[in-house]
Amino acid sequence: MASADSAASSGGLWRDLTDALRGTHHDYTSGALGRAIFLLAVPMVVEMMMESIFAVVDVFFVGRLGSGAVATVGLTESLMIVIYTLAFGLSIGATATVSRRIGEKDYDGAARAAVQVIILGALVSGTLGLLGAAFAPQLLTLMGADAGVLGIGSGYARVLLGGSASAFLLFVVNAVFRGAGDPAMAMRTLIVANALNIVLCPMFIFGIGPFPELGVLGAAVATTIGRGLGLVTAFWMLWRGTGHLVIRRAHLAVEPHVMWRIARLSGMGTFQVAIGSMSWMGLVRVVSSFGATAMAGYTIAIRLVIFALMPAFGLGGAAATMVGQSLGAGKPDRAAAAVWTATRYDVVFLTAIGGVFLLFTPAIVGVFTADPAVAAVAVSGLRVLSLGFPCFAAGMVLEQAFNGAGDTWTPTWINFFVYWLLQIPLAWMLARPLGLEQRGVFIAVPIAYSVFAIVAGVLFRQGKWKTKYV
């Protein structure tokens, strides 16, 4: 009997895994809570793994070109944070609005909201791309690039910033998929984008086969092409309409009142993300003052942390979708239960990853650089950051849960307090007056995230988010 039960359980798990990866028309507002979270979380985790691979592929290949090239990637990515901030802010509004309409069974309203989000995204990302391409050298200088890094990285920055519209819109469209309960669609777009980037990156960097040898510039070209074709795939799936969300010609009209409602919600979401992401730019500015070696080591450590955090972020995305759809269906208690369940899963997952990082730090860092000085910085930083992974996990889920409910104000002021009044001053104090240099910056990060998780947990339990309407 025990073996039969085990087989049945195994068969059920395999069936759920298959359904999650293939995509299913599951009603997430009813039925077993654990299964609903699993069906949402698995493709979101895979999606975020694909996103995190983007964060390390360039560094993996560019690392062969020296510390200056790696520093170029790090400084340009710090500028891309501005792009990602606006994309993420708009994505908050997209997920909250679309998931609420889906929970209400208003599928036409969900499609109309999705179109307005995409139009807004195209306008914003197009403008940012033009400005980034035009002023790339000046922006690198502003971020502390020395003459050597500037000479190597100006072309890289121009291409990556100029082509940022593809990354922006891909992020927004995938947020629509997640809000609709179609995370498998988002997963597929990033599989396409990643596959192309992995293949093209070494070819353009090192001039393999018929491709020109472009050096660090080749990484930007490969990434832009990969994300662009991923976006084309996303639009094709939206129009094809195989998931919960179907866009037709009737939905393509501009609706100012819908667009304004989403823009207002996304505006606070953007401000929220800006507070957090610009604090990272502040940290980069502190680290860059210690030279290219410190910057290169910091870049590798942060890329590896992003690699770990992005899959964990997928569980937060599942929580946000569950909250939005459950509130739309008039089930706030189901929304709360989903969040705490996702938090427990995320803490366990990320704690395990942190343990792996602590045990094998030198070997992991060694994959990305052969420079002993750069490796020493990266190893030290990665070990410190890994200690904060459990709190990173809890904070990510709770923040997205608030956003999924349309309560963007609460995580906004928490971000301001934690990142600007605590993290940046603490990082500067540890790095400069106390003489810990870049290690002081690393130490400040897990401290700040621990405070974030505690404050967010207390406020979520109070339950004011249940009253928000989007």
Asked if 374 contacts 300 with a C-beta cutoff of 8 angstroms, the reply is yes
User: CA–CA separation, 357 vs 407, rounded Å?
Assistant: 34
**Angle separating helix axes 67-103 and 256-288, nearest 10 degrees:** 150
Q: Using one digit for the tens of pLDDT, what is the confidence trace for 417-451?
A: 999 999 999 999 999 999 898 999 999 999 999 99
- pLDDT category, 6, cuts 50, 70, 90? very low
Helix then strand then coil, % of the chain, to nearest 5:
85, 0, 15
pLDDT of 55: 64
- Phi, psi for 21 (deg, rounded to 5): -75, -30
Angle between helices 107-134 and 256-288 (to 10 degrees): 40
Q: Which of 8-22, 126-140, 238-252 has the lowest mean pLDDT?
A: 8-22
- Give the pLDDT of residue 8: 40
pLDDT score, position 2: 41
Strands, E assignment, 120-232? none
Q: What is the Cα–Cα distance from 191 to 197, expressed in whole angstroms?
A: 10
Which H/E stretch holds residue 316?
A: helix 292-328
**pLDDT per position as a tens digit, 371-381:** 999 999 999 99
Please report the pLDDT score of residue 15 as a whole number: 83
**In terms of pLDDT, which residue wins out, 293 or 75?**
293
Angstrom distance (rounded) from CA 383 to CA 314? 23
Helix, strand, or coil (residue 428): helix
Tokens matching residue 273: 């993300």
Q: How far apart are CA 243 and CA 99, in angstroms?
A: 13
Stated as kind and residue range, the H or E segment containing 384 is helix 372-386
Check whether 391 has a pLDDT greater than 90: yes
- 265 neighbors 92 (Cβ within 8 angstroms): yes
Give 291-323 pLDDT, tens digit per residue.
Answer: 888 988 998 898 888 878 877 788 898 999 999
Q: Identify the pLDDT of residue 170.
A: 93
Read off the pLDDT of residues 165-212 as tens digits, 9 standing for 90 and up: 999 999 999 999 999 999 999 999 999 999 999 999 999 999 998 888
Parse the chain into domains and list their residue ranges.
31-467
Query: What was the pLDDT predicted at 178?
Result: 92
- Kindly state the average pLDDT of the residues 109-115: 92
Phi, psi angle pair for 252, to nearest 5° = -85, -5
Q: Based on the number of CB atoms within 10 Å of its own CB, is 92 exposed (0-12), middle (13-18) or buried (19 or more)?
A: buried
The model's pLDDT over 231-282, given as tens digits with 9 standing for 90+, comes to 999 999 888 876 778 888 888 888 888 889 888 888 888 888 888 877 887 8
- Asked if 365 and 420 count as a contact pair (C-beta separation under 8 A), the reply is no
Question: What b/e sequence results for 213-231 when a residue is b if at least 16 CB atoms lie within 10 Å of its CB, and e otherwise?
Answer: ebbbbbbbbbbbbbbbbbb
pLDDT at 266: 86
Which secondary structure element, helix H or strand E, spans residue 284, and what is its range? helix 256-288
Measure CA of the first residue to CA of the last residue in the chain; give whole Å. Answer: 50
- pLDDT band of residue 90 (cuts 50, 70, 90) is very high
Q: Which two tokens stand for residue 321?
A: 């979708």
- Locate tokens 């009142």: which residue? 257
Q: Given this model, what pLDDT does residue 3 score?
A: 42
Instruction: Decide if pLDDT at 7 tops 50.
Output: no
Contacts of 328 (CB under 8 A, 6+ apart): 29, 99, 100, 101, 102, 103, 104
Q: How buried is 106 (Cβ within 10 angstroms: 0-12 exposed, 13-18 middle, 19+ buried)?
A: middle
DSSP-derived secondary structure letter, 179: H
Residue 148 has pLDDT above 80, yes or no: no
* Structure-token match 């971020």, residue found: 143
Whole-angstrom distance, CA of residue 414 vs CA of residue 393: 16
| Least confident among 40-49, 99-108, 148-157, 332-341 | 148-157
Asked if pLDDT for residue 4 goes beyond 50, the answer is: no
Per-residue model confidence as pLDDT tens digits over 402-420: 999 999 999 999 999 999 9
Q: What is the mean pLDDT of the chain?
A: 88
* Sign for the pseudo-dihedral over CA of 118, 121, 126, 127: positive
- Is it the case that residue 53 has pLDDT exceeding 80? no
At 383, which amino acid appears?
A: R
- Give the pLDDT score at 5: 40
